[in-house]
Structure formats: C-alpha cells, structure tokens
Amino acid sequence: MRFGRKRKGTTLSPKAREALNGYLFTSPWLLGFLIFVVGPMIGLIWLSFHRWDLIGDPRFVGWRNFERLFRDRLFLKSLEVTVIYGLGRVPLGIIVALGTALLLNNRRIKFIGIWRTIYYMPVVLPPVAISLVWMWIYNPRYGILNSTILQLFGVPGPRWLDDSALVLPSLMIMAVWGAAGRNMIIYLSGLQGISNELYEASSIDGAGYWRQFWRITLPLLTPIIFFNLITGMIDTFKLFTQAYIMTEGGPRNQSLFFTYYLFQKGFQQYQMGYAAAMTLIVFIIIMGLTLLVFRWSRAWVFYEGEIKRGDY
C-alpha cells in the first residue's frame, strides 16, 4: 500500500466553477425569461394560426388571420395613427427632456433638488389619473386651457380631443409632459458623467458654450439619445390608456392606436386568434425598426474615447 498518494477527485476547475456560479446566479432570470417571455411568444405564434373566442376550443385556420390583416382597413389605420404619433412624440420628447436636463444640470440654481423632484413627479403618477387630469385640461367648456389661458388672449378655445386635426397633437403634448421627467433623469446622469477636463481643454482653445455643446456635450450624449429613441419608439406601440380613457379611438378613428384596436378585437369582440396575428406582425415591425436604428446609430453615436483634443 502506498501512502501519501492523492486520490483523483471530481472537483471542478476554477474556470468551470466560476461558470457554474454564473449560471446559478442568473438562473432565476433565465427561468423567468423562459416562462414569462419565450413561453407566451410560442403560445402567441401557435394561436395566430387558430380561431378562438375564449370559450370553445381553438380551431386551426392556417394563414387566414394574416391574409385578413392586410384587408382590414382599421388595422392599417391603427398602424398609420401609431406611426404618425411616434414621429411627433419621440423627437419632441427627446428635445424637451434634453433641454430640461441642461437647465437642471446647473448647480447654481437655488433649490435644484426640489426642481428635479417636481419635473420627475409625473413619472410616478398613475396613467389613469394623468388621463383624467388632462381630460379636464382639454375640456372645451371649463378646462383650464380654454377657459383660463386662451381666454386671456381672446383666442376661442378649440375642442381639443374632439377635433380630428388636434387630437394627436394634444396626446403628444400630454405624453411628452409625462415622459420628460424619466428621460430628463437619464440625460442628467449622462451630463454629470462627462469629464470636466474636456470642457476645460476646449475653453483653453477658445471654445464658447454653444461650441462646447455641439462638439462635446451633444456627441457624448448620443448613446443616451439612442437609448431614449429606442425606448420611445417601443413605448409608442404600447400606448393604450390615453386612447381607452380619453378618446376611445375617436374622433373618426384619428386616435385609433394599435393597442386599442388590439384590445377591441381580442377582449371586446373575442377574436383572440386574429389579435395574436396582429401582435405578431407588429412585433416583427418593431424588431425591423429597431435593427434599422441600430444600423443607423453607427453613423451618429459617439463615445468619450472617440473625442480628442482639437475636435472642438
């Protein structure tokens, strides 16, 4: 018998142990992703090829739901309304939030913490409560916008939510007011993350405020602008509360957003298979737009390491 000989064990190598620990720590998220994201997506694809009224058994209909989509005038109208709304709301939200962040980044302003809190408050308010408040603001008879503000200038107040030409701009303004606080905080963190050395070096080279903004601040904020662009685009296709509470898709379907039309088909008319097909098509549209924006971002998104002395 030989003493002192080490037995070959089954212990893992440090690299394998590190990988195992990583999978163990991420397993709750992975399980949640598989159960609550991948599972419903597979069910959605399966349901889009069936006809189901929530009561009987699903009946296979093949591609009929998808063929019906492109003959559905209201479905195409809902996409048109959603896209037009997004083209106005997303750029306007980026501009307003960025401007607010630039103002609130000045530490010389008194009570700066209070002002930041006030601008962020709409983010934590319930969407239903916000919709009801703005319905009162836009009321043509006793709303504060018509009866107080416009009346001071002698301007006749329009019917904001009942006018086909004004309903979308009215909802855009409301959305920008609600989302500006969230985006403002993100921009503010980006502004505070820009190194002061860049501004000091540019000042030595004779760059003024606006030149610093266009050459340093704005380029280094492009990753955050890119993030807010993507999230704003996705949020556009998720808008539901305003249409459901404030306009019900009117007037003349001018606020018939995709999610509200999806709700009508799925939960009012009980056409769940058709609603699943609608969701799948819009999911493909969102993925396509997101990939296009990612490709486009290579031309205008910059990072701090890409800006050198002399670029300003």
Condensed to tens digits (0 to 9), the pLDDT of residues 116-154 reads: 888 888 888 899 999 999 999 999 888 889 888 888 888
**159-177 residue pLDDT tens:** 999 999 999 999 999 999 8
Round to whole Å and give the CA distance between 159 and 155: 13
Coil, strand or helix: which one is 64?
helix
Round to whole Å and give the CA distance between 77 and 74: 5
DSSP for residue 150: I
Residue 291 has pLDDT above 70, yes or no: yes
pLDDT the model gives residue 1:
46
Strands 50-51 and 59-60, bridge-based pairing: antiparallel
Contact status, residue 255 vs residue 247, Cβ threshold 8 Å = yes
The percentage of residues in the chain with a pLDDT greater than 90, rounded to a whole number, is 54
Round to whole Å and give the CA distance between 31 and 114: 41
pLDDT the model gives residue 178:
84
Tell me, what amino acid is at 62?
A: G
**207-261 residue pLDDT tens:** 888 898 898 889 999 999 999 999 999 999 999 999 999 999 989 999 999 999 9
Mean predicted lDDT score pLDDT of the chain:
88
Round to whole Å and give the CA distance between 219 and 190: 11
Round to whole Å and give the CA distance between 143 and 158: 11
Mean pLDDT of 287-292: 92
> DSSP assignment of 157-175, as one string?
PP-GGG-TTTHHHHHHHHH
Domains of the chain: 60-311 (1.10.3720.10)
pLDDT the model gives residue 307:
54
